[in-house]
Amino acid sequence: MSGIESYKAELGQLLEGFARNVRRLREQKEPGFSQERLSDATRLHRTEIGRIEQASIEPRLTTLVILADALGVKLDELVSGLPVPVERKPSPQARYGGAARRSRGEKS
């Protein structure tokens, strides 16, 4: 598996774990605490909450802080049980070799 494929696979697993944590904490908050109610409490769009719980986006740090506050938890509870990623996003040079540098007029 290439570097980018490994990165994407590991990121997918990380986001799925985060999504499970958000959903679990939301459902534990109180009976009937829906995505809509979490959206109201955070002032984040309802579809953003859904995309987080579907593991289809990687939320920003500010979003993590907002979620933790609305759920009444600390940041460490949002990321509890998530492994530290081993893979890092490959640089454009690693993904495209020297082609990215040459297209910008840089020498290899």
Give the predicted TM-score (pTM) of the model: 0.80
Instruction: Tell me what percent of the residues of the chain surpass a pLDDT of 70.
Output: 84
Q: Three-state DSSP class for 15? A: helix
Q: Among 81, 28, 19, 20, which Cα is nearest to 51's?
A: 19
Residue 30: phi and psi, rounded to 5, are -170, 155
Task: Tell whether the model's pLDDT for residue 81 goes beyond 80.
Answer: yes
Architecture of domain 3-103: Orthogonal Bundle (1.10)
Backbone dihedral region of 59: left (phi > 0), alpha (psi from -120 to 50 degrees) or beta?
beta
* Res 83: pLDDT: 87
Measured distance CA(13)–CA(11) in Å, rounded: 5
Sequence ranges of the domains in the chain: 3-103
C-alpha torsion 90→95→97→101, nearest 10: -80
- 73 Rama sector, left if φ>0, alpha if ψ -120 to 50, beta otherwise: beta
Does 18 or 94 have the greater pLDDT score? 18
- pLDDT at 46 exceeding the cut of 90: yes
